[in-house]
């Protein structure tokens, strides 16, 4: 393993979900990088993570249990890509000054996402690291199940998975119940998760689920048209 002085300083882009947790698990096992921070983006108004809807309190408790500081990037509610890129640019410069030259992500095979990250980070001299990259969703799921990480479903795309999937643990029963059109890892946005125990966590994160919520959002597509997407949320909450 060696001392931290022999390791490469890096920032881990943390979502709080299963792929993120598995990627961090693999990075820490490998021992090549010194992860100095978990970077996450949250909605400035709701104080929840922008994609998964995890409350900031639970993100902080995840970081405390893992033992790596959380770095929060506040995003403007309903802000566009310009707002996002401005906020992320400040974060990148902050870590650049601390000698960080590597940002780690938990992507699997979405090439457009990786290309976007590389395009935006390359001008800062930051290299993108993807420990799960180019494996199949089935391979990643098997690695996740073997890791001992514990996670629950907290968000679903309603047209594919309804409220009945909210709160379910990711296990073989869950995989069996997925419809054929769903990616087993939810890589196309079918579902998002909250990881709370096992593997990288020194102690479990207590949580509770509120009443399920449905919400519909308009999304502007690449061709300029607008499509509405409906999501189901588990209303994840921290236990004080």
**pLDDT recorded at residue 78:** 62
- Helix, strand, or coil here: 100? coil
Distance, in Å, from the CA atom of 100 to the CA atom of 110, rounded to the nearest integer, reads 25
Note the pLDDT of residue 87.
83
Residue showing tokens 């996402």: 113
In this prediction, residue 4 carries a pLDDT of 58
Q: What is the mean pLDDT of residues 95-118?
A: 88
- The mean pLDDT value for 29-44 works out to 93
Selected residue with higher pLDDT from 79 and 65: 65
- The pLDDT assigned to 184 comes to 96
Average pLDDT over residues 54-83: 88
H-run or E-run covering 196: strand 191-197
What is the average pLDDT value for the chain, to the nearest integer?
90
Q: By three-state DSSP, how is residue 66 classified?
A: helix
pLDDT for the residue numbered 74: 86
Superfamily of domain 4-238: HUPs (3.40.50.620)
Helical spans, DSSP H, in the chain: 18-30, 56-66, 81-96, 111-121, 137-147, 172-177
How far, in Å, CA of 57 to CA of 8, rounded? 29
Q: Which residues pair with 55 in a beta bridge?
A: 48
Distance CA 171, CA 31 (A): 28
How do residues 178-214 score in pLDDT, each as one tens digit?
999 999 999 888 999 999 999 899 999 999 999 999 9
- d(CA 220, CA 139) in angstroms, rounded, equals 32
For a pLDDT cut of 90, what percent of the chain falls above it? 67
157-166 pLDDT, tens digit per residue, is 999 999 999 9
Listed ranges 6-20, 105-119, 214-228; the one with the highest mean pLDDT: 6-20
Q: Which has the closest alpha carbon to 238: 197, 199, 196, 203?
A: 196
- Inform me whether the pLDDT recorded for 77 exceeds 70: no
| pLDDT for position 79 | 59
Lowest mean pLDDT among 44-48, 129-133, 195-199: 44-48
Burial (0-12, 13-18, 19+ Cβ within 10 Å), 205: buried
Separation CA 230–CA 162 (nearest Å): 10
Domain residue extents for the chain: 4-238
């Amino acid at each position: 393993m060696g001392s931290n002085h022999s390791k490469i300083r890096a920032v881990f882009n943390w979502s709080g979900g299963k792929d993120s947790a598995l990627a961090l698990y693999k990075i820490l096992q490998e021992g090549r990088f010194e992860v100095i921070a978990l970077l996450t983006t949250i909605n400035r108004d709701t104080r929840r993570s922008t994609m998964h809807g995890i409350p900031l309190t639970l993100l902080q408790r995840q970081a405390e249990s893992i033992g790596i500081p959380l770095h929060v990037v506040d995003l403007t509610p309903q802000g566009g890509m310009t707002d996002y890129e401005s906020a992320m640019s400040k974060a990148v410069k902050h870590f650049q000054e601390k000698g960080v030259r590597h940002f780690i992500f938990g992507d699997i095979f979405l090439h457009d996402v990786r290309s976007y990250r590389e395009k935006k980070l390359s001008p800062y001299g930051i290299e993108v690291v993807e420990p799960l990259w180019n494996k199949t969703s089935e391979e990643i799921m098997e690695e996740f199940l073997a890791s001992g990480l514990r996670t629950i479903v907290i968000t679903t795309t309603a047209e594919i998975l309804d409220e009945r999937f909210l709160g379910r643990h990711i296990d073989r029963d869950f995989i069996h119940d997925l419809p054929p059109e769903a990616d087993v890892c939810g890589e196309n946005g079918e579902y998002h998760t909250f990881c709370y125990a096992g593997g990288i966590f020194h102690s479990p994160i207590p949580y509770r689920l509120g009443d399920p919520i449905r919400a519909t959002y308009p999304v502007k597509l690449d061709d300029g048209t607008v499509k509405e997407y409906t999501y189901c949320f588990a209303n994840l909450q921290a236990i004080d």
